[in-house]
Amino acid sequence: MKKIKSKLVNFVVRNVFKGVTTVDFLRIVKGNIYQNGKMLPDDVKESYIRNSNILLDDTLNKQIDNEIRRQAELMLFNESNSNDDMIFPKAVLWYIQKRNEKLKEISKLK
Q: What is the pLDDT of residue 27?
A: 84
Q: Write the CA distances from 62 to 5, 66, 67, integer angstroms.
A: 40, 6, 9
Query: Is residue 54 domain-shared with residue 79, that is, in the same domain?
Result: yes
The CA-atom distances, in angstroms, between 6 and each of 11, 13, 35, 71, 99 are 9, 11, 18, 36, 24
pLDDT at residue number 82: 85
pTM: 0.70
Judge if 20 and 46 occupy the same domain: no
Please tell me whether residues 22 and 66 are part of one structural domain.
Answer: no
Type of residue found at 105: E
7 and 21 fall within a common domain: yes
Domains held by the chain: number: 2
Mean pLDDT of the chain: 85
Shared domain check, 23 and 65 = no
- Domain enclosing residue 60, as ranges: 41-110
Q: Indicate if 56 and 36 belong to the same structural domain.
A: no
Q: What is the pLDDT of residues 31-77, one digit of tens each?
A: 889 888 889 999 999 999 999 999 999 999 999 999 999 999 999 88
Q: What is the mean pLDDT of residues 69-95?
A: 88
Q: Span 7-26, mean pLDDT?
A: 68
Residues 50 and 65 in one domain: yes
Question: Based on the domain organization, do 28 and 51 belong to the same domain?
Answer: no
